[in-house]
Amino acid sequence: MLYKMTGGRPLSGDVYISGAKNAALGIMPAAIMASEPVTIENLPDVRDIRVLLDAMVEIGVTVERADAHTVKIDGSTVNKVRVDNEHIRRIRAGYYLLGALLGKYHHAEVALPGGCNIGARPIDQHLKGFRALGAKAEVENGIVIVDAENLHGGHIYLDVVSVGATINVMLAAVLAPGNTIIENAAKEPHVVDIANMLNKMGAAIRGAGTDVIKIRGVERLKGTQYPVIPDQIEAGTFMFAAAITQGKITVHNIIPQHMDAISSKLIEMGCEITEYDEDITVTGKSHLRPCNVKTLPYPGFPTDMQPQICVALSKARGRGIVTESIFENRFRYVDELLKMGAHIKIEGNKATVDGVERIKGADLIAPDLRAGAALVLAGLGAEGTTTVDNIEYIMRGYESFDEKLRRIGADIEIVPGASDSTESEIG
Ligand code: UD1
């Protein structure tokens, strides 16, 4: 399937932000660790979430969908600790089932993510963490096998700040007797959200949101009802849509503090930002100013917003430099922007972007989730007609993307396309 759009209209109006995909992907496995049912609210209705729910059903979890955004999960019916279906290999976050099942059942086998195209994405830090908790952790024929006769608290220093490893070790540690300390932990909002949810279930986690997370193992986790935080990256994508199309967009149901790094860059580029308690209005100006940006772990500028800012810079007046410091190979979409007349040069992990007066519509292919969304923004800010193919990627993480864009004035529709690729794994 592809999106077909005609650019050039300023996008204006209100966008209601969905729950955070990356938080939900950790919260669902956390839920199966409880001895009682857990209700998760504000779940985004996106493909990655559906895949994980299906994988959970396959191992015996009882999943009841109250509506598109609310699900009741009962992990007490789990009858298998091996997760290996064709779909789970397509979502990287399936590995959170490792931490959750290891923590609860002391054994787990989960298929590794398949095709992955933002460079090497190892899981050595996850395995190092599990081993510090007394587990054996091996990879055999693409399946990660973790086993612990005697799971216990441990002291882990993460060699790289990893969101995935922080969450996975936290999941494995909450039921492990004794104390666990995770140093150099990731501080992303979704790490905090998963910790908050686990604490509501009776876990004893302190320090989530700082470099050091301390966990005292508890005997059991109880049921709860928990709403997922709003999606920082979805909100950031729509904020950049205002900048790129010179429109005026209010993103609703967000946590403005999570948006600070993104708001600062938009201000630097000349946009006007008005913050309310749970909403932000971005007013784009006729000429964007260039800026330099480096992706960093939270609270820095998120790597998942790197393609979106690159699109904005391609329309700015002057030169901006984008440095990608989290993932290798995350500039694959730049070839697509060149087709639109953008001036971008890549050297290693740096993109030098010389803004041009206008970019023109072209036929594009989304290489992954976030870059796909950024190419749509480019199409909406370009002259003429653009198509973006491989939109299955975008559907992995953006709920009703085209519909939300149409509501703010975009001329965009879904049309049948040649390809249906779901091999990429990013974001
Ligand atoms: C998560 C997000 C993704 C986001 C990324 C960085 C989910 C489902 N995905 O991915 O959208 O782009 O955080 O904010 O939440 N690393 C290692 N060894 C490990 C683990 C990671 O070397 O064991 C490296 C990675 O290669 C990368 C860096 O650490 O260079 C950060 O990766 P990490 O934070 O783990 O990203 P993910 O959790 O995969």
CA 324 to chain centre: 16
Is 79 in the same domain as 148?
Answer: yes
Is the beta carbon of 139 within 6 A of some atom in ligand 1?
Answer: no
Which residues sit opposite 323 in a β-bridge?
A: 294, 350
What are the tens digits of pLDDT across the range 323-338? 999 998 899 999 999 9
**SS3 of 256, please?**
helix
CA distance between the termini of the chain: 20
Percent of the chain exceeding pLDDT 90 equals: 90
Whether residue 125 has its Cβ less than 6 Å from ligand 1: yes
Question: What is the band of 122 on the pLDDT scale with cuts at 50, 70, 90?
Answer: confident
My answer on whether omega of the bond before 299 falls inside 30° of 0, hence cis, is yes
Task: Give the residue-averaged pLDDT of 312-321.
Answer: 98
Judge if the beta carbon of residue 303 lies within 6 A of ligand 1. yes
Q: What is the pLDDT of residue 419?
A: 58
Distance 327 CA to ligand 1 centre (A): 8
What is the pLDDT confidence band of residue 426, given thresholds at 50, 70 and 90? low
State whether 221 and 234 are in the same domain. no
Examine the domain organization and report whether 415 and 304 are in the same domain. yes
Report yes or no: 112 and 423 within 8 Å, Cβ to Cβ: no
pLDDT at position 114, please? Answer: 53
Phi, psi of 156 (to 5 degrees): -125, 130
What b/e string do you get for 227-241 counting C-beta neighbours within 10 Å, with b at 16 or more?
Answer: bbbbbbbbbbbbbbb
Question: Which residue among 174, 207, 227 closes a domain?
Answer: 227
Is 160's C-beta closer than 6 angstroms to any atom of ligand 1? yes
Q: What is the DSSP letter of 303?
A: G
- With H, G, I as helix, E, B as strand and everything else as coil, classify residue 14: strand
Q: Is the pLDDT of residue 253 over 70?
A: yes
- Total count of domains within the chain: 2
> With 60 as the cut, is the pLDDT of residue 50 above it?
yes
**Segment holding 72, helix H or strand E:** strand 70-74
| Residue 22 CB less than 6 A away from ligand 1 | yes
pLDDT in tens, 364-399: 999 999 999 999 999 999 999 999 999 999 999 999
The rounded distance, in Å, linking the Cα atoms of 91 and 411 is 31
pLDDT at residue number 345? 98
The answer for residues whose C-beta is within 8 angstroms of residue 310's C-beta and 6 or more apart is: 322, 333, 334, 337, 344, 351, 353, 374
Whether residues 356 and 219 share a domain: the answer is no
Query: Within this chain, do residues 238 and 207 fall inside the same structural domain, yes or no?
Result: no
Which of 116, 271, 291, 310 is the catalytic position?
Answer: 116
> How do residues 156-198 score in pLDDT, each as one tens digit?
999 999 999 999 999 999 999 999 999 999 999 999 999 999 9
Is the model's pLDDT at 199 over the cut of 60?
A: yes
Domain end, chosen from 227, 242, 258, is at 227
Predicted TM-score of the model (pTM): 0.96
Pair 113, 72 in one domain: yes
Cα(162) to ligand 1 centroid in Å equals 5
- The percentage of the chain sitting over the pLDDT mark of 70, rounded to a whole number, equals 96
Q: What's the pLDDT tens digit per position in 53-112? A: 999 999 999 999 999 999 999 999 999 999 987 778 878 788 999 999 999 999 999 998
Q: Output the CA 121–ligand 1 centroid distance in Å.
A: 7
The alpha carbon torsion through 163, 166, 168, 174 (nearest 10 deg) reads -140
Strand order, beta sheet including 385-389? 363-365, 385-389, 2-6, 411-415
Which CA distances in Å does 253 have to 43, 162, 287, 303?
Answer: 13, 27, 28, 22
Predicted local distance difference test score (pLDDT) of residue 116: 40
Q: Which residues of 96-116 are buried (b: 16+ CB within 10 A; e: fewer)?
A: bbbbbbbbbbbbbbbbbbbeb
Cα 378 to ligand 1 centre (Å):
26
Task: Name the DSSP letter for residue 96.
Answer: H
| Average confidence score pLDDT of the chain | 94
Residues with Cβ < 8 Å from 140, sequence gap 6 or more? none
- How many other CB atoms are there within 10 angstroms of residue 78's CB atom? 18
- How high is the pLDDT of residue 92? 79
Domain end (from 227, 255, 272): 227
Q: Where are the beta strands (DSSP E) in 302-423?
A: 319-323, 343-347, 350-354, 363-365, 385-389, 411-415
Residue 121, pLDDT > 80, answer no
Handedness of CA 308, 194, 150, 81 (dihedral sign): negative
Helix (H, G, I), strand (E, B) or coil at 79: coil
* Confidence tier at 427 by pLDDT (50, 70, 90): low
Specify whether the backbone of 152 is left (phi greater than 0), alpha (psi in -120 to 50) or beta. Answer: beta
Do 240 and 361 lie in a common domain? yes
H/E element, 110: strand 107-111
C-beta of 289 in contact with ligand 1 (< 6 A)? no
DSSP 8-state code for residue 174: T
Distances in whole angstroms, Cα of residue 89 to Cα of each of 47, 84, 422: 13, 8, 11
Nearest CA to ligand 1 atom 37: 164
Residue whose CB lies within 8 A of the most ligand 1 atoms, among 112, 126, 160, 329, for a mutation test: 160
**CB within 8 A of 354, min separation 6: which ones?**
318, 319, 343, 344
Work out the pLDDT band at 51, boundaries 50, 70, 90.
very high
What's the CA gap between 154 and 215, in Å, rounded? 10
- CB of 126 sitting under 6 A from ligand 1: yes
Instruction: Write out the H or E segment, with its range, that includes residue 323.
Output: strand 319-323
Q: Output the pLDDT for position 88.
A: 81
Which ligand 1 atom sits closest to the C-alpha of 302?
A: 14
* Residue-number span of the structural domain to which 275 is assigned: 2-18+230-424
Q: How far is the CA of 190 from the centre of ligand 1 (A)?
A: 13
Task: Tell me if residue 156 falls in helix, strand or coil.
Answer: strand
> What average pLDDT does the segment 279-295 reach?
97
- Shared domain for 61 and 122, answered yes or no, is yes
Average pLDDT score over residue span 130-137:
98
Pick the residue whose CA is nearest to atom 12 on ligand 1.
427
116 is a catalytic site residue: yes
> Is the domain of 268 the same as that of 315?
yes
Both 84 and 176 in one domain: the answer is: yes
411 CA to middle of ligand 1, Å? 34
User: Which CATH number belongs to the domain containing residue 6 in this structure?
Assistant: 3.65.10.10
Please tell me whether residues 195 and 288 are part of one structural domain: no
Candidates 281, 250, 279; CA nearest to 267 is 281
Per-residue pLDDT, 115: 38
What pLDDT score does 423 carry? 47
My answer on whether 393 and 319 are in the same domain is yes
Would residue 177 be called left, alpha or beta, if left means φ above 0 and alpha means ψ between -120 and 50 degrees?
beta
